[in-house]
Chains A and B, each alone.
Chain A
């Protein structure tokens, strides 16, 4: 089966973000960018399904400016077969991203689409579910285990209160949680080989999708800073402060 994996270029998860002084957004100039961690897990899961002989081809897709090709190359170095770059310089919100991915799904006809459960920049946690709705597919969100069984896939999901397993008809959409797998590192030879793998570039217009902005960000602010606390000398002082000063116990 063919697997489609969507990956997003985001700020590196270790970077402490800075809000721009004019409150229009977060300062991304000269900041280290990387593949969204949940997307790495999605690529790894697809590669493992290929290694098990379940997947025959892995197509990786990313939406955004030209620089997204770096993240597609990374996915190719990790084991994806070919890439699709949907070039868009403006901000693409979840619903429009889902519509673009739907157009790719119609073209490529994958049996399984794997996405991360959320991107660590917008923290929306929407795109996979929206894609599933638009394509009429079943969805297995927040997956910590994926087992393909004939024309079905069993997905164990991380839910409040524990784990839940659902059986989905294929084709289906799966979104990854952190515990699904441990992504591998790309080796140098694989990085070199990835340079020869094909990447198709498409525009939203090629896919018949108009990029609409339904949500307008009016301002972005830094969160209220917590006032500096105090160090206590021992446990007795700590308990005393909690009881008599903070009055929380």
Chain B
């Protein structure tokens, strides 16, 4: 078996999720090649070559791939991936965008968002917002799979010594172009891979009050998340949303503040190791999944939390 992993990166650094995907590839077994497609991606290719378990790094360095447009990436990956038994990438927004295009071009099904590998053709994935777990067997000759990074422990980022090979395949479908982007700026750890996440919901009442959570997050080295209610109310930007339609997180510690715990939110965080809920409504569904629940007004509890943490950290 030969597995092609499509690296997730931002043209300058390799995203950690790629290491989780390589771990999923190792669970399948076989030679693992990593494709780095982007623009000026030398540093990314070097990082990928150092990842544990990687056999070869293929580099497609061209302006056509600089903004990860699905039309161009889809054609590239479908061509490069033809000779492999498996094509894997992270189920981030980039992977979700181009990967089904690859599957359709190869006329094979895609298995989305797997959390476990049972065998080379059998995978486990959540359905119905994580309320059911399906085991599916893929019968196509090439398995196109997106991997939920939190389902797999990452391989070591150092220690590997893969060869690096430049590809001269340029696929520019000429169907789409990049116009602009608006990045949310943050010095905190990346939400999807943070060890601790503290999230606020509608109970925060406004965006200004999220500062309280940010202060606590900075003390703990945590990322700050939000429920859909908080995003829709305009308190915080949408890339902070945790849930079925936002990011899936599985940190060591998840602190839900003023979040009721709707099915769609639980879909994004119920695999966290320890869940803490702070809510004044004793009946809130979040308490049914919380390891530690505190029934209290968050406007009193969060500043107290900050003080208590200062004592122990």
A in complex with B = yes
How many residues does chain A have at the interface if contact means C-beta atoms less than 8 Å apart?
Answer: 81
Could you tell me the distance in whole angstroms from the C-beta of B185 to the nearest C-beta in chain A?
Answer: 9
Could you tell me the distance in whole angstroms from the C-beta of A135 to the nearest C-beta in chain B?
Answer: 10
Q: Name A120's closest neighbour in chain B (CB-CB).
A: B129
Q: Is B138 an interface position by the 8 A CB rule?
A: yes
The complex places the Cα of A14 from the Cα of B244 at a distance, in Å, of 13
Q: Are A166 and B292 in contact (CB under 8 A)?
A: no
Of the candidates A130, A139, A140, A248, the one having the most CB atoms from chain B within 10 angstroms of its own CB is A248
Q: Is A125 an interface position by the 8 A CB rule?
A: yes
Could you tell me the distance in whole angstroms from the C-beta of A139 to the nearest C-beta in chain B?
Answer: 6
The complex places the Cα of A221 from the Cα of B301 at a distance, in Å, of 38
Q: Name B251's closest neighbour in chain A (CB-CB).
A: A248
Residues of B within 8 A of A139 (CB): 70-71, 97, 101, 176
Q: Are A126 and B133 in contact (CB under 8 A)?
A: no
Could you tell me the distance in whole angstroms from the C-beta of A50 to the nearest C-beta in chain B?
Answer: 24
Compute the total of residue contacts between A and B using a CB distance below 8 Å. 260
Beyond A17-B131, A139-B97, A235-B305, whether A179 also contacts B232 by CB under 8 A is yes
The digit string for A180-224, where 1 denotes a CB below 8 A from any CB of B, is 000000000000000000000000000000000011111111110
Q: Are B183 and A162 in contact (CB under 8 A)?
A: yes
Contact of A241 among B175, B178, B231, B292 (CB under 8 A): B292
The complex places the Cα of A228 from the Cα of B130 at a distance, in Å, of 18
Q: Is A236 an interface position by the 8 A CB rule?
A: yes
Q: Are B274 and A246 in contact (CB under 8 A)?
A: yes
The complex places the Cα of A16 from the Cα of B288 at a distance, in Å, of 14
Contact of B100 among A17, A120, A125 (CB under 8 A): A125
The complex places the Cα of A221 from the Cα of B153 at a distance, in Å, of 23
Interface of A is mostly: mixed
Residues of B within 8 A of A219 (CB): 134-135
Q: Are B270 and A226 in contact (CB under 8 A)?
A: yes
Q: Is B103 an interface position by the 8 A CB rule?
A: yes
Beyond A218-B137, A232-B292, A235-B305, whether A161 also contacts B127 by CB under 8 A is no
Could you tell me the distance in whole angstroms from the C-beta of B187 to the nearest C-beta in chain A?
Answer: 14
Contact of B182 among A14, A163, A215, A220 (CB under 8 A): A163
The digit string for B43-87, where 1 denotes a CB below 8 A from any CB of A, is 000000000000000000000000101110010000000000000
Q: Is A121 an interface position by the 8 A CB rule?
A: yes
Q: Are B294 and A238 in contact (CB under 8 A)?
A: yes
Q: Is B126 an interface position by the 8 A CB rule?
A: yes
Q: Are B96 and A141 in contact (CB under 8 A)?
A: yes
The digit string for A220-244, where 1 denotes a CB below 8 A from any CB of B, is 1111001011111011101101110
The complex places the Cα of A118 from the Cα of B110 at a distance, in Å, of 14
The digit string for A95-132, where 1 denotes a CB below 8 A from any CB of B, is 10010000000000000000001101111111111111
Residues of A within 8 A of B196 (CB): 248-249
Q: Are A160 and B247 in contact (CB under 8 A)?
A: yes
The digit string for B289-302, where 1 denotes a CB below 8 A from any CB of A, is 11111111000010
Q: Is B13 an interface position by the 8 A CB rule?
A: no
Residues of A within 8 A of B92 (CB): 160
The complex places the Cα of A229 from the Cα of B291 at a distance, in Å, of 4
Contact of B103 among A123, A126, A172 (CB under 8 A): A126
Contact of A165 among B70, B180, B247, B311 (CB under 8 A): B180
Residues of B within 8 A of A215 (CB): 109, 111, 136-139
Q: Is A71 an interface position by the 8 A CB rule?
A: no
Q: Are A239 and B312 in contact (CB under 8 A)?
A: yes
Q: Is A134 an interface position by the 8 A CB rule?
A: yes
Contacts A26-B127, A123-B112, A132-B71 aside, 12 further interface pairs with beta carbons under 8 A come to A13-B263, A138-B176, A139-B97, A142-B93, A144-B238, A218-B136, A219-B135, A223-B132, A226-B291, A231-B292, A246-B292, A249-B253
20 A-B interface contacts by CB (under 8 A): A13-B263, A26-B132, A123-B128, A130-B101, A137-B175, A142-B96, A162-B239, A166-B176, A179-B231, A214-B109, A215-B109, A223-B270, A226-B275, A229-B292, A231-B294, A232-B294, A234-B304, A236-B308, A239-B309, A248-B253
Pairs A-B, 9 closest by C-beta atoms = A129-B100, A138-B175, A133-B104, A214-B109, A130-B104, A126-B100, A235-B304, A229-B291, A165-B179
